[in-house]
A and B are shown apart, each in its own frame.
Chain A
Amino acid sequence: MALPVYASPLERIWHYTYLVICALIFLFLIAPILIVIPLSFNAEPYFTFTEKMLSLDPAGYSLRWYDLLLTQPSMPTDVPRDAAWWAQVWQESIWIRAAKNSVIIGVFSTIVATVLGTIAALGLSRPEMPYRRVVMAILISPMIVPIIITATGLFFFYSNPCALLNWTGLADQCGRLTGSYLGVVLAHATLGIPFVIITVTATLIGFDQSLNRAAASLGAPPTTTFFKVTMPLILPGVISGALFAFVTSFDEVVVVLFVAAHDQQTIPRQMWNGIREQISPAILAVATILVIISVGMLATLELLRRRSERLRGVTPA
C-alpha cells in the first residue's frame, strides 16, 4: 500500500486522508469492545469514566462488580470467605448457575453438531454426491433464516413434539420439550450445524482423495482410513467448526427466551434480563470476562488456521 513515486501532491493528501479514515473505522470496530474492560473496574455505579479513574487513582478502581457476580443479595456479606462460603457461591450464585448451564448446553450441542456435521461434510465433498446444491442449501438455512422465526417454530414444535404422529396414537405420550435441556441442546445444535458444514467442507476442498485410495489399496477398512488418514488432516477444520458451533450456542438468547424455562437460564439470557431491567456495571464485568474468552477463542482459531495451512501444504493441490 506504499505510494507510487509518481503520485501527485493531491494523491498524497488523499492517501493520508484515506489512512486516517481507515484508522477511524478500526476505532469504530474495536473501541466499543475494549471500552467495557476499564469501565468494569469502576468503583462507582456509573457507565462513564470518573475523574478518579482518569487520574489513575487506585481508589477509582475496584473489583466490586466482579464480587457482585459471586454473591447473592440473600447471602450474608460479613462472613469469612472460607471453603464453605465458596461452596455456597458455587451452588447459589445466579451467574455461576447460568455459566454452568451455558457450558452444559454448549458442550452437548457442539458434540451433536460436530459429529453429524463432519460426517455430512464428508458426503457433501464427494464428487458423486447427488442433489448437492439443494441439500447444501437446506443444511445452511438455519444460519440464514431469522432466529425469531426458528424460535417461533420451535416453540410450536416443542409444545407438542409428536403432533405429526397423531395417527399412531403416540401423540399424548410424548410430553413436551419446552423447558427441557434436551430441547435447548437440539435447537442449538441445529443453529451450529451450518458453521461446522462450512468450515469442514472448506478444509476438504484441499483434501487429496488419493490418500484415501492409497490407504484402501494397502488394505485399510474405511473406518481405519477415516481415523488414521482423513481425520488427522481435517482435524483443524473440525475443531474450528466445533468452536464456531460452541460460540453460537454460548451466545444464543432468542431460542432460550422462547423455549427454555427458569432452570435453563444461560449467561446471555441472564445478560438479557440485566440489560432490559436495570443495567448495572455487573453486566460490564460479565462482558469483560466474555471478551477475554473470545480473545482466547480467536487465538486458538488462528493457531488452527496456520496448522491447517501447513498440513495442507504437504499434499499436492
Chain B
Amino acid sequence: MAEVSAAAVGLTTADGRPLRTALATAQQRAKRRAFLLVLPLLAFIVITFIVPIGQMMHQAVYNDGFSANMPRLSAWFAEHPVGTDPDEPAWQALALDLQDAATAKTAGVVGTRVNYQMSGTRSLFTSTARKAKDFAPPYRDAVIAADKKWDDPELWGTMRQVSRAYSLNFFLAALDMTQDRQGMIVAMPEDRQIYVDLFVKTFLLAGLITLTCFLLGFPIAHLLATLPLRWSNLLMILVLLPFWTSLLVRTTSWIVLLQQQGVVNSALVATGVITEEGRLQMIYNQMGTIIAMTHILLPFMILPLYSVMRPIPPSYVRAARSLGATSWTAFRRIYLPQTLPGIGAGSLLVFILAVGYYITPALVGGASGQLISNLIAFHMQDSLNWSLASALAALLLGAVLVLYWLYDRLVGIDNLKLG
C-alpha cells in the first residue's frame, strides 16, 4: 500500500479528487462494511455472554446482604473509624435495624452474610430478631439481655467488615484467607483450607489427563497421518464418532463399563482374574474421572496432531535413515520436532477444556474426583453462597483466559479446526 500512495501523489481520480484521499476513503468504507457485518454478532455475544460474566465478577466483590438490611448500623460503621468501641447510638442502630429486619423477615439474610465471615452467628441474628420488638432504651442492656454473645468485640469487628457492600472478602475466602478483627489479611485455620488445595488438584488432574491424552493420541495421529488417505479417512470415523456422541452418553457408557456390577468387572470375574469379592472400584472416584475425561478429550488431541503430521513428508525420515540414523534417532531428531506445533496445540486445548470440566466429574467422580467447577456448582445450587461461587469462578476464569491468550499466541485461534 505504501508504494501505491507514494506513486499516487499528484494523480487525481476522474472526478478530480486526489487519488490518495479517494483511496483512503474507499478503504475506510471497506473497513466499515466488514465491521458492520460482524457487529450484530458482536453485540449479541456482548449481551448474552460478556455482560453475564461481568455480572458474575460484580457478584464476587459485592454482597449487600448486611448493608441493605442494616442501614443504620452500616451508617454508624461508616462514620466511626476502626477500633471505636460501640457506644449507645451504635447499640440503638443495631436494635432498630434488628426490629426492621424482623418485620421484613430479612434477619436470616443478614445473619447468613455475617456467618460467611464468622461461623455460628446466623442463629444469633435470627433469634435476637425474634425478640427485637420488645427492645427499649437503654439498648445496650436490652440487646445483651437478649443474647450475651452480642458483647463480643470480634463480632463487632466482623460486622464492620461486612457493613460495606463492596469487599474482597470472597476472593480472600476463595484463596483460603480471611481478615482478622483489625482488618489484617491472615490465612484461614488449617482445617478450613480447602480451595487452594482443590485448585492445585484440578490443575494436577488436568495435567495428568492431558498427558494420558497425549500418550494415547500420538500413536493414533501418527498412524492416521502415515496411512493412505483411503484408509485413514475410514479410521478417522472411529475418532470422530466419539467426538459427535453426546457427552452424557459417553459418561453413561463408562458407568456401565466400570461399575462394580458392570461389564469389565464381570468379565474379569468370569475369566478368574479377580474373585467375586474382589471386584474393583474403578468409578465414582478419581480414577473414574481420569478415564472418562481422557476418553472424552482424546479427539481434541488427535485432530490437531493429525493436521500437523499429515503434511510432514516421509522423505525426511528416510533421508535420516539413509544417513545412518537408527529409527529411534530419526524419530527423535527429525520427526518429533516437526510435530511440536501439533503437540502444543492439542495439549493446550485439552488442558484448557479439562481445567473447567464439570459434567463428567459430577457424574463419575464420586467424592475424590471432584474438580473446582463442581465446587462452584455446589456453592451456586446447594450452599447458596453465590458471592463465593463467583469469586472461585472468577479465579478459574482468570486461569483459563491466560491459557487462552497463550493458545492464541502459540497456535492462533484461526487454526482451531473441528473434524
Contacts and interface: CB of A to CB of B under 8 A. Distances in A.
A29 to B, nearest CB: 5
B42 A139 contact: yes
Q: Which of B44, B235, B389 has the most CB of A within 10 A?
A: B44
Contact of B352 (A28, A144, A157, A199): A144
A123 B37 contact: yes
A152 B48 contact: no
A268 interface: yes
A153 interface: yes
B168 interface: no
Nearest to B30: A128
Interface stretch (B76-84, B100-108, B215-223): B215-223
B48 A33 contact: no
Interface string A19-32: 10110011011111
A36 interface: yes
B353 to A, nearest CB: 8
Q: Is the interface of B mostly helix, strand, loop or mixed?
A: helix
A272 B99 CA distance: 45
Contacts of A123: 33-38
B37 A119 contact: yes
B400 interface: yes
Interface in B198-251: 216, 219-220, 223, 226-227, 235, 237-242, 244-251
A287 B262 CA distance: 16
A148 B418 contact: no
Nearest to A124: B38
Interface stretch (B115-123, B136-144, B159-167, B355-363): B355-363
Contact of B48 (A11, A14, A187, A198): A187
A155 B51 CA distance: 12
Given A164-B51, A202-B417, A39 B256 contact: yes
B246 A258 contact: no
B53 A35 contact: no
Contact of A152 (B45, B261, B355, B380): B380
A247 interface: yes
Interface string A101-112: 000000000001
B55 A149 contact: no
A120 interface: yes
B249 A120 contact: no
A300 B226 CA distance: 26
A258 B51 CA distance: 17
In the A-B complex, list the 7 residue pairs whose CB atoms are closest, starting with the nearest. Answer: A146-B356, A123-B37, A153-B52, A157-B52, A120-B41, A32-B253, A123-B38
Interface of A: 1, 4, 6-7, 11, 14, 18-19, 21-22, 25-26, 28-33, 35-36, 39, 46-49, 112, 116-117, 119-120, 122-124, 126, 128-130, 133, 135-142, 144-150, 152-158, 163-164, 186-187, 189-190, 193, 195, 198-199, 201-202, 244, 247, 250-251, 253-254, 258, 268, 271-272, 275-276, 279, 283-284, 287, 290-291, 294-295, 297-298, 301-302, 305
Interface of B: 27, 30-31, 33-38, 40-42, 44-45, 48-56, 59, 216, 219-220, 223, 226-227, 235, 237-242, 244-257, 259, 261-263, 266, 295, 298, 318, 321, 327, 352, 355-359, 363, 373, 376-377, 380, 386, 389-390, 393, 396-397, 400-401, 404, 407-408, 413-414, 416-419
19 contacts: A1-B227, A4-B321, A25-B219, A26-B235, A31-B257, A32-B295, A36-B253, A47-B263, A117-B41, A119-B37, A128-B31, A139-B42, A149-B397, A153-B54, A198-B417, A253-B248, A287-B249, A294-B246, A295-B241
Given A116-B40, A138-B50, A147-B356, 14 more contacts: A4-B318, A29-B239, A29-B298, A33-B250, A36-B252, A46-B261, A120-B40, A124-B38, A144-B404, A145-B401, A146-B356, A146-B357, A149-B397, A187-B48
